[in-house]
Amino acid sequence: MSTRELVESIYEQVRTRNAGEPEFHQAAAEVFDSLHVVLDRHPHYAEAGLIERLCEPERQIIFRVPWTDDRGAVHVNRGFRVQYNSVLGPYKGGLRFHPTVNLGIVKFLGFEQIFKNALTGLPIGGGKGGSDFDPKGRSEAEVMRFCQSFMTELHSHIGEHTDVPAGDIGVGGREIGFLFGQYKRLTNRYESGVLTGKGTGWGGSQVRREATGYGAAYFVNDMLQTHNRSLDGTRVVVSGSGNVAIYAIEKIQQLGGLVVACSDSSGYIVDSKGIDLEVLKDIKQVQRGRVSEYVDAHSHASFTADGSIWDVPCDVALPSATENELDDKAATALVKNGVNVVAEGANMPTTPAAIKVLREACVAFAPGKAANAGGVATSALEMQQNASRDSWAFQYTDDRLADIMGKIHSRAVETAEEFGMPGDYVHGANISGFITVADAMIAQGVI
Ligand code: NDP
């Protein structure tokens, strides 16, 4: 059997064993697509069921989350934590609160997280969790009661040496605060290292809030620099207007880029003078409003409810909202308008068909597991600070983040070259992350 046939047969087993989880199949297929070239050179990675073990989470926890709304009505949501792989360190990965969350989504995110965390070079395993709870439109008290109920079950499965959750869609500083408070109450321990993304006044790291977006901007700058360009004067479109998008916009602007469009689930705004970040932050972070309100402050800007943000011409595109938001039609529009770089701020926002369009057009494309790894890397720095009861200055932490992103960029570039696919960040990131995890799994035996 050729290595390609072997990888295909393992992929078919994974699909059959995990029926009805299309996002997980998609994430696995993307990694599997890089594996046969590795197995051609290193056949021992196919021994001892290594790939099969890697695809099966070490532990999957599904639990009931009952809570009471402000009117006294009882709601029941479903909670998840998938502890995927702990070969490099405690499970590490965010919690997502969104109505679309199900086991397949959590497994896709957890699987990606294994390789992303390996790429950071830091001692963190891969995991992910969340709930189908929708925080949108809920009062502060309702969100708090939900978080307390969620943590009442989750607390017995996590810990600073076991599993360290953080935020993701729908889980920001507010939710991490409620979750941490309940963990402390249930365990009677001030265990700072059990969650990351905490407030900087009580164990959080400087730059953690900004890290995913800042890191993606650093990564894009590194991509441009390999072609003797930079973000300075470059026209950029960023989808989303949540944690990742806002801080990607901030750092791109600091590096001289012109961000002309961003979005939320209700539509997108275009401001050809450049997005006014203060206004955007006020709408999204303070008022928890909709991006459409931006035009109230800037009448020259436009809001489009029905349409694709990827129709807006740009040099650089950063999909930073959610999975599969950039399809082949969108990729074709980007290429037609002359895009040079696409980097994933979100997890798996680009469909396989869109990646094919970008590859064929020779657009530099960075997968999320490399480009958005700055968030989890800074979470690992938060864990380091918690372990040493220390807290680092903003600039020092930001410099460490930039350095880590530079190293991830180099690893992806060098690995792609080593395996005969120069400039292919997808294969470079997949192969580099896989080898790190696979070597550790072999060293630790069949567990
Ligand atoms: P947030 O909840 O802070 O923001 C998500 C943003 O995406 C919101 O603006 C939301 O709009 C928008 N959005 C969600 N669904 C859609 C949709 N279908 N169409 C258009 N816009 C949409 O989440 P984050 O910024 O934290 O996460 C964004 C992505 O980045 C996710 O894929 C996440 O997994 C990934 N990521 C996050 C990390 C982090 O540190 N937070 C780390 C690494 C990856 P609305 O307000 O209308 O819902």
Ligand 1, atom 16, residue with closest C-alpha: 265
Is the C-beta atom of 260 inside 6 A of ligand 1?
no
CB 281 within 8 A of CB 245: no
Segment 306-317, tens digit of pLDDT: 999 999 999 999
Q: What does the domain layout of the chain look like in residue ranges?
A: 1-56+424-447, 59-189, 211-362
Distance 403 CA to ligand 1 centre (A): 25
CB 431 within 8 A of CB 370: no
Closest ligand 1 atom number to CA of residue 171: 2
DSSP character at residue 33: T
Distance 285 CA to ligand 1 centre (A): 13
Tell me the average pLDDT of the chain. Answer: 97
| CB neighbour list of residue 383: distance below 8 Å, 6 or more residues apart | 124, 160, 164, 193, 196
Ligand 1, atom 22, residue with closest C-alpha: 265
Candidate from 196, 290, 322 with most ligand 1 atoms within 8 A of CB, to mutate: 322
Share of the chain above pLDDT 90, in %: 99
Distance 40 CA to ligand 1 centre (A): 38
Place of tokens 């009505």: 73
- Which letter, b or e, does each residue of 94-125 get, where b requires 16 or more Cβ atoms within 10 Å of its Cβ? bbbbbeebbbbbbbbbbbbbbbbbbbbbbebb
Cβ atoms within 10 Å, residue 40: 12
Ligand 1, atom 27, residue with closest C-alpha: 169
Mean pLDDT computed over 101-106: 98
CB 317 within 8 A of CB 334: yes
Partnered with residue 391 across adjacent β-strands are none
Ligand 1, atom 42, residue with closest C-alpha: 375
Q: Which pLDDT value is given to residue 447?
A: 87
Is the C-beta atom of 244 inside 6 A of ligand 1?
yes
Mean pLDDT computed over 434-440: 98
Distance CA 391, CA 376 (A): 17
pLDDT beyond 90 at 348: yes
Is the C-beta atom of 386 inside 6 A of ligand 1?
no
Is the C-beta atom of 23 inside 6 A of ligand 1?
no
Closest ligand 1 atom number to CA of residue 375: 40
Partnered with residue 262 across adjacent β-strands are 269
Distance CA 397, CA 446 (A): 37
Q: Which pLDDT value is given to residue 82?
A: 98
DSSP character at residue 204: P
| CB neighbour list of residue 104: distance below 8 Å, 6 or more residues apart | 18, 20, 21, 22, 23, 24
CATH topology of domain 1-56+424-447: Glutamate Dehydrogenase; Chain A, domain 3 (1.10.285)
Q: What are the catalytic residues?
A: 128
Distance 443 CA to ligand 1 centre (A): 37
Ligand 1, atom 29, residue with closest C-alpha: 346
Ligand 1, atom 40, residue with closest C-alpha: 375
Is the C-beta atom of 79 inside 6 A of ligand 1?
no
**Domains 1-56+424-447 and 211-362 equal at CATH topology level:** no
Q: Which pLDDT value is given to residue 349?
A: 98
Mean pLDDT computed over 259-281: 98
- Type and span of the H or E element at 126: strand 126-131
The confidence band for 1, taking pLDDT boundaries of 50, 70 and 90, is confident
Pairing verdict, β 258-264 and 267-270:
antiparallel
Give the alpha-carbon dihedral of 225, 206, 164, 320, to 10 degrees: -40
Distance CA 290, CA 177 (A): 24
Helices (H), 303-422: 328-336, 352-360, 368-371, 374-387, 394-418
CATH topology of domain 59-189: Rossmann fold (3.40.50)
Mean pLDDT computed over 109-119: 98
Q: Find, among 151, 154, 60, the residue nearest to 107 by Cα.
A: 60
Distance CA 144, CA 136 (A): 13
Segment 184-202, tens digit of pLDDT: 999 999 999 999 999 999 9
Is the C-beta atom of 213 inside 6 A of ligand 1?
no
Q: Which pLDDT value is given to residue 288?
A: 92
Question: What CATH superfamily classification does 211-362 receive?
Answer: NAD(P)-binding Rossmann-like Domain (3.40.50.720)
Segment 290-303, tens digit of pLDDT: 999 999 999 999 99
Q: Find, among 122, 57, 111, 56, the residue nearest to 88 by Cα.
A: 122
Is the C-beta atom of 378 inside 6 A of ligand 1?
no
Statement: the pTM of the whole predicted model exceeds 0.95: yes
Distance 446 CA to ligand 1 centre (A): 37
Ligand 1, atom 37, residue with closest C-alpha: 168
Is the C-beta atom of 104 inside 6 A of ligand 1?
no
Is the C-beta atom of 110 inside 6 A of ligand 1?
no
